[in-house]
Homo-oligomer: A and B are copies of this chain.
């Protein structure tokens, strides 16, 4: 699996990390970054992440692409992929790394002729940091990438996307867009909301007392609010379901505490420990 010209739309943390990983594993001959932010374009070239960085897919630098990966915020993924389909070679593979899938996949499939090669993707890797200067070529190594084909996906698209991610050291798992969105509402979007709510209830006067436990539990609250507003909005229905589940569990804790029911409290804490113990130490 080797691309000729890989176009990465959005060279922030994820796009930059993808570019670096592609370079390190020699998965593309030529890398073009597309970013509206002049600072991202400049840094991406300075850091050697891409061969060339331009502001727009209309630029001829993108015209020869045989693969386009959208690494923009979830509310800015469908549009550039649809535009890319008009600008690039007809056999170019179009995919993305967005944290939500159903809305994006629907929008792109509705707009694209059926012969185009598109499949949605989501590498389960990230960071609360932003910008190409934090690009990490090892970000996808050993991680899980979800690809979300539909009945309209051409087998060649799924095959090439799978090969691409495997060439970067990732493992690939197939889910429907809806299965994916329901799952990540629990594994990713809910923890973000929980971390943010927890951070927000700490009065500034108690910051000095917040030890490593509070810090770890709220780390995700440092993520970019702009990106996460879009993700939460995109996935609001499944996220509301996940919130309800979580609030129900919290309510069980509240009831046990109210009744001073130590036996029940112990059961609940043990259930949490058992569930946490089911996670491998490193992650997907």
Cβ-defined partner of A213 (8 Å) among B126, B198, B203, B248: B126
CB-contacts of A226-284 with B (<8 A) = 226, 228-230, 232-233, 236, 239-240, 242-243, 245-250, 252-254, 257-258, 260, 262, 265-266, 268-273, 275-280, 283-284
Please, how many angstroms separate the alpha-carbon atoms of A266 and B196 in the complex? 11
**Chain B neighbourhood of A61, CB < 8 A:** none
Flag if B276 contacts A260 (CB, 8 Å).
Answer: no
Stretch from A37-45, A86-94, A160-168, A204-212 at the B interface: A204-212
Flag if A202 contacts B187 (CB, 8 Å).
Answer: yes
Stretch from A26-34, A112-120, A148-156, A214-222 at the B interface: A214-222
**Chain B neighbourhood of A102, CB < 8 A:** none
Please, how many angstroms separate the alpha-carbon atoms of A236 and B284 in the complex? 36
Flag if A199 contacts B254 (CB, 8 Å).
Answer: no
- Say whether A195 faces chain B, with CB atoms less than 8 Å apart: yes
Please, how many angstroms separate the alpha-carbon atoms of A113 and B185 in the complex? 57
Flag if A187 contacts B211 (CB, 8 Å).
Answer: yes
Shortest C-beta distance, A259 to chain B (Å), equals: 10
Cβ-defined partner of A211 (8 Å) among B126, B230, B275: B126
| Interfacial residues, chain A to chain B (CB-CB below 8 A) | 124-126, 143-144, 146, 173, 183-184, 186-188, 190-204, 206-226, 228-230, 232-233, 236, 239-240, 242-243, 245-250, 252-254, 257-258, 260, 262, 265-266, 268-273, 275-280, 283-284
